[in-house]
Amino acid sequence: MQIFGFIQLPFALAGLVVGAMVGLTGVGGGSMMTPILVLLFGIHPATAVGTDLLYAGITKISGSTVHSMHGSIDWRVTGRLASGSAPAALLTLLALSWFGANSDHANSVITTILGFALLLTSVSLLFRPTLVRIYAPFFEARSERQIATLTVALGAALGVLVTLSSVGAGAIGVTVLLMLYPKMPTLRIVGSDIAHAVPLTLIAGAGHWAMGSVDWAMLASLLAGSIPGVAIASHFAGRVPDRALRILLACVLVLVGGRLAF
């Protein structure tokens, strides 16, 4: 069913649901959208990932702009992440192009990595405070040069993960950054991670577009639903039990991730 000539109602409703979850909890964009497209709508994994990457890039531009206006972005950290993620994303795109983004082999690899990425995301959501408490002292004792190297390595890992699954730039990235920079305010960590996700998702999304793995009508429909979904849910965010929603989201991701990975 289409409205306004090109907006497809089922995808707009999916965007509304995902946008509402993002507005209520601050997480759930890529980790929810791609599985919904693959499992609920039967979209080819490469197309789901490619479309979701551009969807994420567009939606994160506004978030990055707000964080920049409030001075809550550490551009040094963002630059370190990008210096690892951009080359990794480009190399991953070259590999996908070589094997064929829409081939059965690529489809199997993308689906499996998506599953494991969702499982990692659920662990990040459920055990972030515990992980930070255990590992932050270790990283705090590292030298500035070592932390810089590890941040670049994190960026490279996210570059591969996000390009193949569209998942990981949010919950996983923030969790590891909190370990690497335990003295940095959480808001600044989140702002830096969002700022880094913009070029990463746009580069990866553009690569998928070049390989024909982006559905523009579906992208427009998702945005038509998610933009009001985020706005409306953000208004009620303070009245909803955030922790309960995060636990519920993590449990759902475990089930979906397990199904895709195994």
Report the candidate in 229, 227, 249, 225 with the shortest Cα–Cα distance to residue 10.
225
* Cα Rg of the chain (Å, integer): 17
Who wins on pLDDT, 196 or 66? 196
pLDDT recorded at residue 237:
57
Please compute the mean of the pLDDT values over residues 227-242 and round it to a whole number. 71
Cα(96)–Cα(37) distance, rounded to whole angstroms?
20
- Tally of domains within the chain: 1
Segment 46-77, tens digit of pLDDT: 999 999 999 888 888 877 887 788 888 999 99
Who wins on pLDDT, 169 or 149? 149
Cβ-based neighbour number of residue 71 at 10 Å: 10
pTM as predicted: 0.89
Q: Which of 91-95, 143-147, 233-237 has the lowest mean pLDDT?
A: 233-237
Domain that holds residue 33: 2-261
